[in-house]
Amino acid sequence: MQSIGIIGVGSYLPEAIISNAEIGRGAGVTDEWIVRKTGIHERRRAAPHEATSDLAVAAAQRALDRAGVTADQLAYLVVATSTPDHPQPATAALVQHRIGARRAAAFDVNAVCSGFVYALKTVEGLLSGAADGEPRHGLVIGADIYSRILDYGDRRTAALFGDGAGATVLGPVAPGLGLRQISLVSRGDAHHLIEVTAGGSRRPASPGTLTAGDHYFRMDGRGVRDFVTRTLPYETDRLLRRAGVSADAVQHFVPHQANGIMLAELWPDLGLHRAALHLTLERYANTGAASVPVTLAELDRKGAAEPGELVMLAAFGGGMSLGLALLNWSMEAREETPAPGAYPAVSPLLTAGEPVSPLAP
């Protein structure tokens, strides 16, 4: 079977920049407190007229342009999101219509912030099994608008999230390049750590749920931190052993942009001592399922990876869920280097601060 890899990436971040000072006024905290607890300085917020599908369409078009692939060449279109436009139809169906991907099977994946890697595994498997003559391109989008489900009086969550979308085009690549190993993990016994408790079939929206604020995003920060610090190092080592790869061979690490302080404290335990750690949370915060592809797009814009270099992706989120992917970068550097200042730089490794859970008092 021909190898499948990432042949195009793109992202879209809304224009509105929301500062820590603005967030802090509602949550009762300062800019200094937010930076010290999270490493986040600002985030983007979708305009009132923008829905998740709008962000996804913009990112998709940029990824298709980067890949040199047209929408009607797509066999599959998958949107990873936990903030869909509405309960049904799938947000992917709206994106398919908007971009003209008339041949693509379109559906959503919800593994919360791990959704992009789950969708990547799904589309890679579908494309690898395609018969001769069938389309061999797929589009994987991560998109979320968390600003619509946050309680801005809750300092544990208000500062952590931003809105955005990132997209990747998958297609055939040369031998030795592309996706090598993907690992997906679910721990349903910890589902209570991250949740929106109302608005579904268990507790339909009602005046009572609205009054109680049960349609807002809630998170047990300490429990999430414990899950990630316990699970991610083990699963990272397990993935490398399954792939027959040394940790020292990994050259780039692109994690879910959950909390910069937590990632800085966790980083030494992953054993990826020779890898560059790519962070974009300083400017964009946690964009949910979009955070990994948004950071991949920044990596591409910066020209940080050469074809063949080993890249690891790691995402974790509600469910609880975790997704890891190991790939050999399959994109040539851009022919034109973006002008200085055209795109935000990929952030350096943040300095670890005091051991804290995300936004713990």
Q: Quote the domain boundaries for residue 55.
A: 4-175
Share of the chain above pLDDT 70, in %: 91
| Residue 335's pLDDT band (cuts 50, 70, 90) | low
Across the range 264-292, mean pLDDT stands at: 95
Sequence-ordered list of residues with C-beta below 8 angstroms from that of 110, at least 6 positions apart, any chain = 80, 81, 82, 84
Nearest to 145 by CA among 59, 83, 53: 83
Q: Per-residue pLDDT tens for 143-196?
A: 999 999 999 999 999 999 999 999 999 999 999 999 999 999 999 999 999 999
Instruction: Note whether 148 and 237 are same-domain residues.
Output: no
The whole-number pLDDT of residue 354 equals: 33
Q: How many separate domains does the chain show? A: 2
Query: Is the model's pLDDT at 350 over the cut of 70?
Result: no
How many CB atoms lie under 10 A from the CB of residue 1?
8
In this structure, are 183 and 167 located in the same domain? no
Q: What is the pLDDT of residue 94?
A: 97
Tell me what pLDDT residue 234 has: 96
Task: Kindly report, residue by residue over 15-55, the tens digit of the pLDDT.
Answer: 999 999 999 999 999 999 999 999 999 999 999 999 999 99
CA distance 310 to 89: 37
User: Does position 288 have pLDDT exceeding 70, yes or no?
Assistant: yes
In the sheet where 276-277 sits, what is the strand order? 178-186, 321-328, 310-317, 252-255, 276-277
156, 171: one domain:
yes
Do 167 and 221 sit in the same domain of this protein? no
Looking up residue 126, the CATH number of its domain turns out to be 3.40.47.10
Residues marked active site are found at 113, 256, 286
Same domain, 155 and 81: yes
Q: Are residues 96 and 204 in the same domain?
A: no
The whole-number pLDDT of residue 2 equals 80
